[in-house]
C-alpha cells in the first residue's frame, strides 16, 4: 500500500478551494455572491432547526469540541458531484455550495459531516493512514445521518429488500472511501466488512438509528435529559 502523501491521494482534488488557503475568512464580496450566500443561509437554518445537527452540536460542545460556524464550517465550490467533506487537517467541514440546492439535502450533508467531526473529537482518528478508522466513521455517518433512511432509499428505488438499510450503509461507506483514497474496491470492501458490525452498532451520540426527524427529535430530547436524573438526586 502506498502511504506517501502525494497530491490527489487524499481526496483534496475534489475540493479545489482547499489548496488556496488554510481556512476561509469569507470576504464581504464572497458573501454577497449568490451560491455562497444561499449556502450560508441553508447552513444556518440546518444548525438551528435540524434535530440531527442540534444533537451533534450539543454532543460536541459537551465533549469539549464546540463548533463555531465561521471557523469550522465552510461553503465552497467543489468538483464533480460531491456534496461535502471533512478536512481533518484543518478540522473544517466543507459544504459544496455548487452541489447543494435543497434544505433537506443541506441538513443531511451537515449531519453526515458532523458525525465525522464528532468521531474526530471523541477518538484519536488516524484519517490518513488507518483505513479502518476512516471506514468506521463512514459507516456511522451513512447509518446515522439519514443518508439511508426510507425516503432517501425510496427516491433511489431501492426499497423492498429486507436488509436494505445495512446494504445501503455498506455501499455508501464504500463509495465514500473510494472517492477520497487511492485503494482498490476489493481492499475497501474487505476493510468495510471487517469493521462493519462494530461500527454499525455504535449509535453515539444518538443512542438509536434515527430513521426520521421524529426519531432524531426523541434522541435529542433524551440527550438533553441525560443528566436530569442525577441532577435531581
Ligand atoms: Zn463521509
Cα 44 to middle of ligand 1, angstroms: 20
**pLDDT tens across 40-95, in order?**
999 999 999 999 999 999 999 999 999 999 999 999 999 888 999 999 999 999 99
Phi, psi dihedrals of residue 96, rounded to the nearest 5°: -85, 95
**pLDDT tens across 16-30, in order?**
888 765 545 556 665
200 touches 143 (CB < 8 A): yes
Cα 230 to middle of ligand 1, angstroms: 35
Cα 111 to middle of ligand 1, angstroms: 10
Q: Is the pLDDT of residue 179 over 80?
A: yes
Which domains does the chain possess?
12-122 (3.30.2010), 126-202 (no CATH)
Residue burial 68-90, b: 16+ Cβ < 10 Å; e: rest: eeeebbbbbebeeebbbbbbbeb
Amino acid at each position: 500500500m502506498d502511504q506517501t502523501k502525494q497530491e490527489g491521494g487524499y481526496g483534496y482534488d475534489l475540493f479545489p478551494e482547499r489548496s488556496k488557503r488554510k481556512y476561509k475568512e469569507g470576504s464581504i464580496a464572497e458573501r454577497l455572491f449568490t451560491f455562497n450566500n444561499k449556502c450560508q443561509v441553508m447552513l444556518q437554518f440546518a444548525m438551528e432547526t435540524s434535530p440531527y445537527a442540534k444533537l451533534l452540536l450539543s454532543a460536541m460542545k459537551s465533549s469539549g469540541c464546540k463548533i463555531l460556524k465561521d471557523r469550522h464550517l465552510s461553503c465552497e465550490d467543489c468538483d464533480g458531484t460531491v456534496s461535502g467533506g471533512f478536512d481533518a487537517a484543518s478540522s473544517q467541514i466543507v459544504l459544496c455550495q455548487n452541489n447543494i440546492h435543497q434544505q433537506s439535502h443541506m441538513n443531511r450533508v451537515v449531519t453526515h459531516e458532523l458525525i465525522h467531526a464528532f468521531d474526530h473529537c471523541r477518538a484519536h482518528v488516524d484519517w490518513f493512514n488507518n483505513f479502518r478508522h476512516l471506514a468506521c466513521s463512514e459507516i456511522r455517518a451513512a447509518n446515522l445521518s439519514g443518508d439511508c433512511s426510507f425516503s432517501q432509499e425510496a427516491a433511489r428505488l431501492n426499497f423492498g429488500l429486507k436488509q436494505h438499510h445495512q446494504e445501503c450503509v455498506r455501499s455508501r461507506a464504500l463509495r465514500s472511501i473510494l472517492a477520497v483514497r487511492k485503494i482498490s474496491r476489493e481492499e475497501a470492501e474487505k476493510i468495510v466488512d471487517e469493521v462493519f458490525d462494530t461500527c454499525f452498532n455504535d449509535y453515539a451520540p444518538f443512542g438509536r438509528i434515527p430513521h426520521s426527524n421524529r426519531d432524531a427529535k426523541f434522541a435529542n430530547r433524551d440527550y438533553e435529559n441525560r443528566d436530569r436524573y442525577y441532577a435531581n438526586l
